[in-house]
Amino acid sequence: MRAPQKGDAAGIHRLIAECPPLDLNSVYTYLLLSEYFGQTCILAGSGDTLHGFVSGYVPPQRPDTLFVWQVAVHERARGQRLGRRMLQNLLQRPGLAHIQFIETTVGPDNSASRGMFAGLARQLLAPVNEQPLFERHMFGPQAHEDEPLLRIGPFRSELLR
């Protein structure tokens, strides 16, 4: 597991395309994430074979919070808790030792992601709060389910060590 680099962007794009129902963003988005948010993103794999990717950032108005944008685990790596392991590895980075909350949006029908975040919250001995954030109508004419906000915390990152 490592931070992504610019040269990984096309591979990340391909990985996300192979992980429905994740929203596929442009390669440029993954270039930006790799270049400017590498310290809050993590990539799992070897060589040209990518098994997983987590993108995230620290919102400027909440410096104690890691917002997790996407968690992608290729089907060949599912069932191995790779998503949770990537998040744990990410939170163990010295530059994120101050993080006390994780925020993410997860659709109501995405039981795999909800289970992963619930398991992480249990490990961190932290509550999970849910509230509306992005409702279906905000996405315009494209079909998209609600994206409620899940907020985990507060927690102490040393529980991951």
Q: Is there a domain that residue 70 lies in?
A: yes
DSSP string, 8-34: GHHHHHHHHHTSTTSPP--HHHHHHHH
The domain of 65 spans 6-160
Q: Is there a domain that residue 83 lies in?
A: yes
Q: Is there a domain that residue 100 lies in?
A: yes
DSSP β-ladder status, 42-46 and 49-57: antiparallel
For position 37, which CATH number holds? 3.40.630.30
Instruction: Check residue 160 and give its pLDDT.
Output: 67
Q: Is there a domain that residue 124 lies in?
A: yes
* Average pLDDT per 10 consecutive residues for the chain, totaling 161 residues: 94 94 92 96 89 96 96 90 93 93 90 90 92 72 77 82 61
Residue reference for tokens 């507060």: 154
Q: Is there a domain that residue 121 lies in?
A: yes
Residue 24 to residue 152: CA distance in whole angstroms? 25
Instruction: Check residue 138 and give its pLDDT.
Output: 63
pTM: 0.90
Residue 101 to residue 157: CA distance in whole angstroms? 10
Number of domains in the chain: 1
